[in-house]
C-alpha cells in the first residue's frame, strides 16, 4: 500500500484534541484511530502492539536474526489534529498532475493561492491531496502515521535486515500534552525521530524555548463622575502592560531564530482584565531575559497602581532540544546522509514551534523531527503531496538500514 492511500483512510477518523479538557486523552475520539492502527501494526509484524488506557500506542518490530545487538531506533507520530479548525468529516480530493495554478476547494469559496503558498510552483506535475475547504486535512500528523506504517510494510516485504524498530503514536500533541504520559521504558528505543514535519527532507533538531504567560489585572471600579484618583481601569492597565513589551517582537515581525511575545487573547472590563501570551526564543539566555522582563513589568505596575493590581503566571512548556541532540549528533548526520543518498536536498532549519520530540529529548530520548510530505497545517488549506510522502517513507527505511549497518 502507498503512504497516501493510508492517509486517505486515516483522515476519515476525526481526532481533534481539546485544550479545555482535563481528561487523558483530551478527546475519546482519538481511541478510534488508535485501535485501528494497533490492528494494522499487528498485521505488519508488531505482534506486541497495544493502546494503553491513556491512548498511547506502542509496538515493536523484532530485530532480524543476527541484528539483535544493533541500536533500537524509534519513530513517533501523533493521533490528534489541531482543535483550532474543524477536523471532523474530512472529504479529501486527489489532484493528479497538478498544473501549478490556484486550487479552488470545493464549494467553500476558499482557494489555495500560489501567492500565499509559493512552494506550490515546485509541485507542478505531482499528485496532491486537498480538502473541500470546510475542514482541515489531518496530514498533521496522519501523514506521519502513514509514512511510518508504509515504511514498516516496505521493510517487511523487502527483507531489509534491521535492529529492533520501536513505534509509538501519541494523543494530544497539538495541545502540548503528547509527551505527558509517554512511557520511555515501554517504548525502548535508544533514539527516535518524530515524523511530524512538512516537506520531504526536513530534518529539525532546534526548536523554541517556550512558556505561557497569563496576566490577571485587578481594577478599582467606581462611578466615573467621582473617579478622580480612585479608579484603576483594569483594561487600560492591561493595555499599558502590553505597551511595555517591545513592539517589534511579535510573530508578524520575526523569523528564523528570532523570538517573540505573542498576545493570543485579551478580555477586560474596568473591574478586571486578562492577557494570555505565549513567549518563544531559540536562545536560552534570551528566553530567560524575556521571562525576567515580564516579572519586571509586574513589579513596575504594582509599584505604580498598588500591590495586587497585576499578577503574571508563567509556565514553561518546553526547551530547545538542540542541547540534548548535539551530544549525539550522529542521528542528524545519519538522517542527512540517507536523505542525500536518495537525491533529496536535506532541509535543516529551526522549528518556530515545538514538537513532542523536544520534551522527549529532555526526558532522555534524543528525538529530532522529520518531514511528512504535508503542508499548510492547521487549516482548510492543508495539503499533502503523494510523491513526497513516498520520499519520506524512503528516508525512514534508509535510517533503519543505516542503523543496522553500524
292-312 pLDDT, tens digit per residue, is 999 999 999 999 999 999 999
309/354 same-domain check: no
216/166 same-domain check: no
pLDDT at 346: 96
CATH of the domain at 150: 3.40.630.10
302/325 same-domain check: no
| CA 78/CA 174 separation, integer angstroms | 8
Q: What is the pTM of this model?
A: 0.88
Q: Is it the case that residue 337 has pLDDT exceeding 90?
A: yes
Domain end among 318, 333, 365: 318
The predicted model gives 226-240 an average pLDDT of 96
For residue 176, what pLDDT band results from cuts at 50, 70 and 90?
confident
173 carries an active-site annotation: yes
Q: Is it the case that residue 84 has pLDDT exceeding 80?
A: no
pLDDT at 22: 93
pLDDT at 354: 77
For residue 317, what pLDDT band results from cuts at 50, 70 and 90?
confident
The predicted model gives 17-43 an average pLDDT of 96
153/78 same-domain check: yes
119-156 pLDDT, tens digit per residue, is 999 999 999 999 999 999 999 999 999 999 999 999 99
Domains of the chain: total:
2
For residue 351, what pLDDT band results from cuts at 50, 70 and 90?
confident
171/30 same-domain check: yes
Q: What is the chain's mean pLDDT, rounded?
A: 95
- SS3 letters for 22-62? CCCCCCCCHHHHHHHHHHHHHHCCCCCCEECCCCCEEEEEC
User: 93 has which bridge partners?
Assistant: 130
150/247 same-domain check: no
Q: Is it the case that residue 91 has pLDDT exceeding 80?
A: yes
Domain end among 262, 283, 318: 318
179/325 same-domain check: yes
The predicted model gives 269-277 an average pLDDT of 98
Q: Is it the case that residue 190 has pLDDT exceeding 80?
A: yes
156-171 pLDDT, tens digit per residue, is 999 999 999 999 999 9
Q: List helix spans (H) across 263-371.
A: 284-305, 322-325, 330-341, 356-363
CATH of the domain at 239: 3.30.70.360
> What is the helix (H) or strand (E) element at residue 104, kind and residue range?
strand 103-104
> Which residue out of 147, 172, 173, 334 is catalytically annotated?
173
The predicted model gives 203-212 an average pLDDT of 94
Contact 368, 338 (CB under 8 A): no
Contact 166, 62 (CB under 8 A): no
243/163 same-domain check: no
User: Which domain range does residue 242 map to?
Assistant: 209-318
The predicted model gives 76-90 an average pLDDT of 88
> Which residue out of 40, 80, 147, 249 is catalytically annotated?
80
The predicted model gives 269-296 an average pLDDT of 97
276/399 same-domain check: no
The predicted model gives 68-83 an average pLDDT of 96
229/287 same-domain check: yes
| CA 145/CA 37 separation, integer angstroms | 9
The predicted model gives 267-293 an average pLDDT of 97
| CA 331/CA 194 separation, integer angstroms | 12
The predicted model gives 367-390 an average pLDDT of 96
Domain end among 318, 342, 377: 318
86/202 same-domain check: yes
The predicted model gives 314-319 an average pLDDT of 90
388/250 same-domain check: no
The predicted model gives 374-379 an average pLDDT of 93
Amino acid at each position: 500500500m502507498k503512504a497516501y492511500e493510508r492517509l486517505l483512510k486515516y483522515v476519515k477518523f476525526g481526532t481533534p484534541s481539546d485544550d479545555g479538557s482535563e481528561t487523558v486523552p483530551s478527546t475519546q475520539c482519538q481511541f478510534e484511530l488508535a485501535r485501528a492502527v494497533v490492528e494494522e501494526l499487528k498485521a505488519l509484524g508488531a505482534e506486541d502492539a497495544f493502546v494503553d488506557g491513556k491512548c498511547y500506542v506502542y509496538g515493536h518490530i523484532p530485530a532480524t536474526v543476527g541484528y539483535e545487538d544493533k541500536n533500537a531506533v524509534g519513530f513517533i507520530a501523533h493521533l490528534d489534529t489541531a482543535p483550532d479548525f474543524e477536523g471532523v468529516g474530512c472529504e479529501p480530493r486527489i489532484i493528479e498532475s497538478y498544473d501549478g495554478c490556484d486550487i479552488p476547494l470545493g464549494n467553500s469559496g476558499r482557494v489555495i493561492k500560489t501567492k500565499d503558498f509559493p512552494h506550490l510552483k515546485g509541485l507542478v506535475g505531482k499528485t496532491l491531496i486537498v480538502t473541500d475547504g470546510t475542514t482541515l486535512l489531518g496530514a498533521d500528523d496522519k501523514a506521519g502515521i502513514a509514512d511510518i506504517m508504509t515504511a514498516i510494510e516496505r521493510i517487511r516485504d523487502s527483507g531489509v535486515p534491521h535492529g529492533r524498530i520501536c513505534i509509538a503514536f501519541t494523543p494530544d500533541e497539538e495541545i502540548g500534552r503528547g509527551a505527558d504520559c509517554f512511557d520511555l521504558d515501554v517504548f525502548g528505543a535508544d533514539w527516535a525521530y518524530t515524523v511530524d514535519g512538512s516537506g520531504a527532507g526536513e530534518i529539525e533538531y532546534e526548536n523554541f524555548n517556550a512558556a505561557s504567560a497569563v496576566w490577571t489585572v485587578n481594577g478599582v471600579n467606581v462611578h466615573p463622575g467621582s473617579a478622580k484618583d480612585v479608579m484603576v481601569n483594569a483594561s487600560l492597565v492591561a493595555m499599558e502592560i502590553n505597551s511595555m513589551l517591545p513592539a517589534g517582537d511579535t510573530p508578524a515581525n520575526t523569523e528564523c531564530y528570532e523570538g517573540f511575545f505573542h498576545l493570543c487573547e485579551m478580555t477586560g472590563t474596568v473591574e478586571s482584565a486578562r492577557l494570555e501570551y505565549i513567549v518563544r526564543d531559540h536562545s536560552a539566555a534570551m528566553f530567560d531575559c524575556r521571562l525576567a522582563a515580564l516579572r519586571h513589568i509586574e513589579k513596575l505596575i504594582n509599584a505604580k497602581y498598588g500591590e495586587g493590581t497585576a499578577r503574571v503566571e508563567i509556565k514553561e512548556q518546553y526547551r530547545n532540544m538542540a542541547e540534548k541532540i548535539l551530544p549525539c549528533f550522529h542521528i542528524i548526520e545519519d538522517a542527512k546522509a540517507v536523505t542525500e543518498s536518495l537525491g533529496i536536498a536535506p532541509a535543516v532549519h529551526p522549528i518556530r514551534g515545538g514538537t513532542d520530540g523536544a520534551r522527549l529529548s529532555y526526558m532522555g530520548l534524543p528525538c529530532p523531527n522529520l518531514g511528512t510530505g504535508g503542508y499548510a497545517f492547521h487549516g482548510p488549506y492543508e495539503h499533502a503531496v503523494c510523491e513526497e510522502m513516498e520520499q519520506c517513507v524512503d528516508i525512514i527505511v534508509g535510517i533503519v538500514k543505516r542503523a543496522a549497518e553500524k
